[in-house]
Structure 1
Amino acid sequence: MNEDPQPVAVWAALRARPLRFPLTGWVPRCWAHLLGGVLLGPPLLAVLAVLLVAGVGLSVVGIGLPLLLALALAGIPVATVQRWRLRLVEPVPVPDPHRRLPGAGRRARIRTRLRERATWRELAHAGLASTVLAAASLGCTALLLLSGAFLLSPLVVWALAPESVMLLPGHAVSGPAAALPFSAAGLAGLLLCAYAGALLTGVEVALARFLLGPREDDLGRQVLELTRSRARLADAFEAERRRIERDLHDGAQQQLVALSMTLGLAEYELRGRAAQTAEATSRADQATEPASPDDRAAELVARARGEARQALEQLRSLVRGIHPQVLTDHGLAAAVAEVALHHPIPVATDVELPERLPAPVETTAYFTVTEALTNAAKHSGATAITVHGRVVGGRLVVQVTDDGRGGADPAAGAGLAGLADRVALLRGRLMVTSPKGGPTTLRLEVPCSGS
C-alpha cells in the first residue's frame, strides 16, 4: 500500500528502549540481515550487469531480446528472496503484490508480469539492493569487524607478546595495557554499529514495503474484479437455490400430489369392487371365504397412498428448508422465532432489527442459526439455547449460545465450513468459541449492505 499503517519493528524497539537497545536481540538480527545483503549484493550486481550489457549488445541481431526479457523479470525472484530475508527483522511479512495465475501458460504469465507495475518496482529494488544498499551494508559490516578486532586487541597483543603488534599503520603496541585505548575505541564502534545497523535495517524494511509490497493502484482493479466476482457468485448461488426450489415445488411436488390423487381414485375403485364382491358372496352364503384379491389390492394401494403422502410432506419440509416462506414474507426475526418454536431444546430468541435487511444477509443469517441449532441438538447435550441478534455499526451481529458440554470442533463437519464460505462471500466473519465444559457460542458478523 502507499501508506503502511504497520510501524517498522526495529525502529519501534529502538524508540521504546534507546539506551538498552544495544543489549537486545535486535542487534545481532540486524547485523545478520546486513551481512546477508553484503553476500547477495555483488553476485546480483554481476548478473544484472551481464544481462544488461549482453542484452543491449546482442539486441541488434535479435538474440539479445530474451536477455533483456530476463533482465526485466529478474526482480521477481530477487524480491521473493528479499521478502524472505525481511522475516529475520520484521514480524509483519511483506505481501506478494503479484496476481495469482493458476493454470496460466508460460506466455500468459510473462505477459501479465510485464504489465504489472510491481514487476518494475521489484527490478528497481534489485538495482538498489545490488548497489546502494549493498554498499551501505558493506560499510556497516566492515566497521563491525574492525570494531570487534579493536575490542579484542588486548587479547591479541597478549597472545603475541613480547613482540610488538601493529594495530594501525604507524601505531604499534607492545603490551595488553597499551592496547586498551584500541579496545575502548572498538567498544564505541560496536555501539555505533548497533544503532547504525538498526537505522539501516529500518530503511531497508521501509524501502521493501514501498517497492516490494502491494500498492493501491495495483490492487484497485483486482479488488474491483474480486468484488464483482463475489457478487456474481452470490447471485448465481441464489438463482440456483430458487431454481431448485421452483423445480421441487412445480415438478416433483405436483407429481406426488397427482400420484396421491390417482392412488386415492384407485383405492376408491378397488374398495367399490370389493364391496360388490362381498355383497355377492353374502347372498350366496359364503361370508367365511378369505378376503378377495380386490381387498388385498385395496390395502396395498392404501399403503402406497400413505407413503406418497409421507413423501409429499418430507418434500414440502425440504422446500421450506431451502428457503422458508416466512423468511421471505416477514423477515429474519420471524423466521428464527418459527425455527425456535419447533426445536427440541428450549430456545430463547432476542432478535431486534430496525428494518428488513437485504435478502442475502437474511438468508445467510437464517441458515447460520439453523445450523447452530441443529448442531446443538445433535451434539451439545444442552438444555437451553439463546439467539441474540442486533445491527451494530452497519453490521448484523447474531450470536447463538448453548449451555452444553462444549468442545465443538468447527472443522469436524462440513456444515459450518460451508456456512463460513457463504459468509465470506458477503465479507463477513463466522466465529465459534467452545471450551471444554461449555458454553458454546457461535457469532456471525456480516455487513448489512449484503455485498
Structure 2
Amino acid sequence: MRPTTAWQAMVQSPLSFLTSSWPWRSLGYLAGGVVAGAVVTALLAVGLAAGLVFAVAVVGVAILAGVVLGSTEVAALERARLRLVDLDPVPDPHRRPETPGAKAWITSRLKEQVTWRELTFTLISAAALWWLDLLVLLFSFGLPAVLIASIDGETWLWTVFSACVLLASPYTVTSWAGARAALTRTFLAPRDQELGEELREVRASQARLLDSFDAERVRIERDLHDGAQQRLVSLGMTLGMLRLDTPPDSPQSGLLAEAEAQLAIAQQELRALIRGLNPPVLADHGLVAAIEDYAGRFPVPVTVDLVLPARLARKLETTMYYLINEAMTNIAKHSGATSATVHGRYHSDLLILEITDDGHGGVDAEAGTGVTGLADRVTALDGRMRVSSPVGGPTLLHVEVPCRFA
C-alpha cells in the first residue's frame, strides 16, 4: 500500500524511506514552520499589543477582531503546508456566508466555533510549535555542525556522536513532522458535528427533491388524465360519428378503421403511462399489492415475497415502489435474466429488501449505471444499498431503509 503520510512511509519501509522524498518533505515542512511561525508570532505580538493598548477605543476592538480573523488565514496556510507530510487533504470547515459582502463574512466567521479553534491553534503554534520545529532542526543539524567544527583529534567520541545524530536526522525530523501534522489535523480538520451539519443539509435537500419529484409526478398524471386522455376519448367519439356517415365499402372506411386502431393503441399506452406515474393500486392497497400488480405485467417472470406488518408512510411507500420499479426495469433492459425475485421483510426498525435475478451479472455500481439512481433514492431515505453482481451472475441488490410503524 502506498503511504500517504510521512509516518506511514517511515514505518512501512524504514530503509527505502531514506531514499524516498519523505525525509526532504519533512525537512521542508519543519523549515517552513519555522519561517511561518516567526512571521506569525511577530504579527500576533504586534496585533495583541496594539489591541490591548487601544482597548478603550473602538479601534482596539477592531484590531483584536482582525487578530481573530487573521488566524483563519494562518489555518489555511497550515492546511496547505500539511500536504507536504500528509497527502490526505484537509477540507476547509468554514461555511459560506448566507449573504455576500464583507460584513456578512466577518459576522459568519466570528460566530463559527472553528474560527476560535483556529485562533487557539495559532496561539499554540506561536508559543510552542515553531520553537519545537527550530529545536529539532538545531539538534539534528546545528549541533553536529557545531561539534564537528569545534572538536580536535583527541575528542573522537564527539565525532562519532555527531555522525550518529546526522545519520538519524531523517528519522528525527520525520518523527516530529508526523507528530506536528497529526496535531495540526486534529485542530484544523472539520469536526464530526460540522460535517454532520453539512450532511443534514444535504439529506434535507435530497428529501425536498424527492418531495418535489413526487408532487411533479402527481401533477403530470393529473394533467394527462384530465387533458390528453380526455382529448383522445373525444377524438374516438368523433371518429365513431364519422364512421356512421361513411359507407362501409368506401376507401375512407379503411382509413377510419386504421385511425381507430392507432387511437386504441395510444389510449392503451397512455393509460399504462398514467398508471405507472401514480398507480391507483399503490394509493388504494399499498406497496405489496402494487408490486404484485406490476410483477404480473412484467415481461420477466418475477416472484414477489414481500411481507409487511402494515402500510408504510406515504413518502416511503412511494419511494420504495419506484425504487423496485426502476430495479426491475434495469433487469428487463440489461440483465438478460429469465427470472427475478423481490423479497422484503421488516425487522428491527428496518425495511430490508432484496432483488435478485439470474442474468449475466457484471453490474458496476461505480460506473454511473442505473444503479446510481437507486443509490440516490436510498441515500435520501437515510438507508444503505449494496450490490453483488459477479460476471456470469446472479445479481443481488440489497437495500436497508429505516422504517417504523405506528
Which of the five TM-score ranges fits, normalised by the shorter chain?
A: 0.7 to 0.9
- For residue 12 of structure 1, report the CA deviation from its aligned partner: 11
**What is the aligned partner in structure 2 of residue 243 from structure 1?**
219
Question: Is the 2:79–2:188 contact (alpha carbons within 8 Å) kept by the matching residues of 1?
Answer: no
**What is the aligned partner in structure 2 of residue 360 from structure 1?**
315
- For residue 244 of structure 1, report the CA deviation from its aligned partner: 1.7
**Greater radius of gyration (CA):** 1
CA distance in 1, matches of 2:196, 2:393: 44
CA distance in 2, matches of 1:349, 1:138: 70
Alignment of 1:320-335 (within 5 A): 320-335=275-290
**What is the aligned partner in structure 1 of residue 186 from structure 2?**
209
Question: Is the 2:26–2:85 contact (alpha carbons within 8 Å) kept by the matching residues of 1?
Answer: yes
**What is the aligned partner in structure 2 of residue 256 from structure 1?**
232
CA distance in 2, matches of 1:41, 1:353: 63
Q: Secondary structure at the match of 1:344?
A: coil
**What is the aligned partner in structure 2 of residue 375 from structure 1?**
330
Q: 1:101 to 1:426 in 2, by over 3 A?
A: farther
- For residue 315 of structure 1, report the CA deviation from its aligned partner: 1.0
Question: Is the 1:397–1:446 contact (alpha carbons within 8 Å) kept by the matching residues of 2?
Answer: yes
Alignment of 1:160-175 (within 5 A): 166-167=150-151, 172-174=152-154
- For residue 249 of structure 1, report the CA deviation from its aligned partner: 2.0
- For residue 36 of structure 1, report the CA deviation from its aligned partner: 4.0
Counterpart AA for 2:41: L
Q: For each residue in 1:264-300, what CA deviation from the matched residue of structure 2 results, as whole angstroms up to 9, or x when unmatched? A: 23323x24xx37xxxxxxxxxxxxxxx5xxx333333
Q: For each residue in 1:76-118, what CA deviation from the matched residue of structure 2 results, as whole angstroms up to 9, or x when unmatched? A: 2322332344455567655432124599455543432233222
**Pair 1:96 & 2:131 matched:** no
**Pair 1:46 & 2:23 matched:** no
**What is the aligned partner in structure 2 of residue 429 from structure 1?**
384
Q: Secondary structure at the match of 2:135?
A: helix
- For residue 366 of structure 1, report the CA deviation from its aligned partner: 2.4
Question: Is the 1:365–1:444 contact (alpha carbons within 8 Å) kept by the matching residues of 2?
Answer: no
Question: Is the 2:342–2:354 contact (alpha carbons within 8 Å) kept by the matching residues of 1?
Answer: yes
How many residues in Structure 1 have an aligned counterpart in Structure 2? 397
**Pair 1:121 & 2:117 matched:** yes
Q: 1:148 to 1:306 in 2, by over 3 A?
A: farther
**Pair 1:395 & 2:391 matched:** no
Question: Is the 1:245–1:322 contact (alpha carbons within 8 Å) kept by the matching residues of 2?
Answer: yes
Query: Unaligned stretches of 5+ in structure 2?
Result: none
- For residue 42 of structure 1, report the CA deviation from its aligned partner: 1.2
CA distance in 2, matches of 1:103, 1:431: 40
- For residue 320 of structure 1, report the CA deviation from its aligned partner: 1.4
CA distance in 2, matches of 1:30, 1:254: 75
Counterpart AA for 2:328: L
Q: For each residue in 1:383-420, what CA deviation from the matched residue of structure 2 results, as whole angstroms up to 9, or x when unmatched? A: 33233323344332323233333333456667443333
Q: 1:138 to 1:398 in 2, by over 3 A?
A: same
CA distance in 2, matches of 1:247, 1:446: 32
**What is the aligned partner in structure 1 of residue 108 from structure 2?**
112
More displaced, 250-259 or 426-435?
426-435
CA distance in 2, matches of 1:214, 1:409: 33
What TM-score does the superposition give when structure 2 sets the normalisation length?
0.77
Counterpart AA for 1:124: T
**Pair 1:234 & 2:210 matched:** yes
Q: Secondary structure at the match of 1:390?
A: strand
Question: Is the 1:97–1:215 contact (alpha carbons within 8 Å) kept by the matching residues of 2?
Answer: no
Q: 1:318 to 1:410 in 2, by over 3 A?
A: farther
Q: Secondary structure at the match of 1:129?
A: helix
Q: For each residue in 1:108-136, what CA deviation from the matched residue of structure 2 results, as whole angstroms up to 9, or x when unmatched? A: 43432233222232133223223321112
Query: Which of 301, 304, 308 pairs up with 1:349?
Result: 304
Question: Is the 1:399–1:443 contact (alpha carbons within 8 Å) kept by the matching residues of 2?
Answer: yes
Question: Is the 2:121–2:187 contact (alpha carbons within 8 Å) kept by the matching residues of 1?
Answer: no
CA distance in 2, matches of 1:200, 1:411: 36
**Pair 1:74 & 2:54 matched:** no
Counterpart AA for 1:74: G
Q: For each residue in 1:195-218, what CA deviation from the matched residue of structure 2 results, as whole angstroms up to 9, or x when unmatched? A: 8974785466246424553363x5
Identity of aligned residues (%): 42
**What is the aligned partner in structure 1 of residue 156 from structure 2?**
179
Query: Unaligned stretches of 5+ in structure 1?
Result: 1-8, 157-164, 276-290
Question: Is the 1:86–1:205 contact (alpha carbons within 8 Å) kept by the matching residues of 2?
Answer: no
**What is the aligned partner in structure 2 of residue 267 from structure 1?**
243
More displaced, 129-138 or 85-94?
85-94
What is the root-mean-square deviation of aligned Cα atoms in Å?
4.3
Q: Secondary structure at the match of 1:442?
A: strand
Counterpart AA for 1:263: L
Q: 1:40 to 1:441 in 2, by over 3 A?
A: farther
Counterpart AA for 2:182: V
